[in-house]
Amino acid sequence: MTWSRVSEWWNRFFFAPGDPRPLALLRVGLGAMMALEWILIAPNLQELFGPHGFLEIRLMDAVSGPSTASFAAEIAALGLPYGLALWIFYGIRCYAILGFTLGVGTRFHTVLLWITQVLVMRSGVFAVYGVDRYFHLLLFPMMFLRTDGALSLHRRGPAEKPDWRSTFGLRWLQILILLTYLDAGLSKAAGPGWWDGNAIWRCLNMPEFRVWDFTWMAQVPWLPKLIGWSTLFFETFYPIAAFIPFVGGLWALVIIGMHLGIALFMGLGIFGVTMALINFTLFVFPRFTGRRARPGRPGARAP
């Protein structure tokens, strides 16, 4: 392969005009899931983030540094009751989620939302889990990307025309997410639990995750092994398969099915649906939107 062909492929892959709707749909979907999570958290706000909740403020700060609780404590130092200060933080985050989701002042609200997400992430093991880490992971690059080219109050008309920035942003987020799957697959493969089926057994039968009775799997030990091997295979090789024509779309659908299964059989609804949404918007939806660009320079028009 000559250098000119490599350059041609590079420009086509990263900079060909792309549809803005996938990034916009991702923004709306993430905002909706963050809003749902925050609504569910509201009744337990003091227990999760309060100074004398599941984890006291001193332990939060010692374990992870400045947290939501310490942020509220700073506000409370001005003379406000701590509970009110905590609700002020809650309101600020809700405001940021709303602006981010609706696409109004998108960049400002994305930055504000990322700052509040950092504080949430630093607020102890009882307040965050996997889905919050993906919120945190995606919000950072989205501060620098154009995500309001469609599906936003900023634009009341049709979506913007295909633009190289949309393609570049999509590739950035695709590669970022694929690296997390590669890391997950390799990490799981390093231990015996996913090879002998024990990890699947524990995921489905531990009290905190158990939704259905899967103890019958003890009679068919090959089944959890098969599920474990399949998980290792599809996660580890996702970064390769994702960009193979036709195969990539089917592979993404398998990953989406896996996450919907997590939502249904482990009770991790927000996590499962969010991950399915991320994979749909980044790897399935773009295959059906926009116009394909001709190979060539950045900004080349699509046929």
Please provide the DSSP assignment of 57-121 as one string. HHHHHHHHSS-HHHHHHHHHTTT--HHHHHHHHHHHHHHHHHHHHHTSSHHHHHHHHHHHHHHHH
Q: What is the pLDDT, as a whole number, of residue 39? A: 95
Given 106, 138, 161, which residue is the final one in a domain? 161
The total number of structural domains in the chain stands at 2
Given 105, 126, 161, which residue is the final one in a domain? 161
Place of tokens 């060539």: 296
* Residue 280 and residue 211 share a domain: yes
CB 173, CB 138: distance < 8 Å: yes
Take residue 38 and report the two structure tokens written for it.
């925050």
- For the segment 231-249, the average pLDDT, to the nearest whole number, is 96
* Residue 121 and residue 98 share a domain: yes
The 8-class DSSP code of residue 128 comes to: -
- Measure the CA–CA gap between 285 and 290, rounded to whole angstroms: 10
- Domain-embedded: residue 257: yes
Q: What is the pLDDT, as a whole number, of residue 301? A: 37
Who wins on pLDDT, 301 or 9? 9
- Measure the CA–CA gap between 199 and 265, rounded to whole angstroms: 14
* Residue 290 and residue 213 share a domain: yes
- Domain-embedded: residue 253: yes
Q: What is the pLDDT, as a whole number, of residue 52? A: 65
* Residue 277 and residue 243 share a domain: yes
Within 10 angstroms of residue 124's Cβ, the number of other Cβ atoms is 23
User: Please, which residues have CB within 8 angstroms of residue 80's CB and are 6 or more apart in sequence?
Assistant: 88
Q: What is the pLDDT, as a whole number, of residue 76? A: 67
Its domain, for residue 43, covers: 20-161
- Measure the CA–CA gap between 47 and 138, rounded to whole angstroms: 27
CB 30, CB 138: distance < 8 Å: yes
Mean pLDDT, the chain, rounded, equals 88
- Domain-embedded: residue 10: no
**Among 48, 68, 75, 46, CA closest to 115:** 68
Place of tokens 């984890």: 55
Most confidently modeled of 124-128, 155-159, 267-271?
267-271
- For the segment 101-113, the average pLDDT, to the nearest whole number, is 96
Given 134, 161, 188, which residue is the final one in a domain? 161
Most confidently modeled of 47-56, 60-69, 71-80, 162-171?
162-171
- Measure the CA–CA gap between 64 and 118, rounded to whole angstroms: 11
Place of tokens 């969010």: 274
Q: What is the pLDDT, as a whole number, of residue 296? A: 38
Q: Per residue in 167-210, pLDDT tens?
A: 999 999 999 999 999 999 999 999 999 999 999 999 999 988 88
Proportion of the chain above pLDDT 90, given as a percent: 66
- Domain-embedded: residue 90: yes
- For the segment 146-157, the average pLDDT, to the nearest whole number, is 83
* Residue 172 and residue 135 share a domain: no
- Domain-embedded: residue 2: no
CB 291, CB 162: distance < 8 Å: yes
Whether the pLDDT of residue 292 is over 60: the answer is no
Q: Per residue in 152-162, pLDDT tens?
A: 987 766 778 89
* Residue 128 and residue 176 share a domain: no
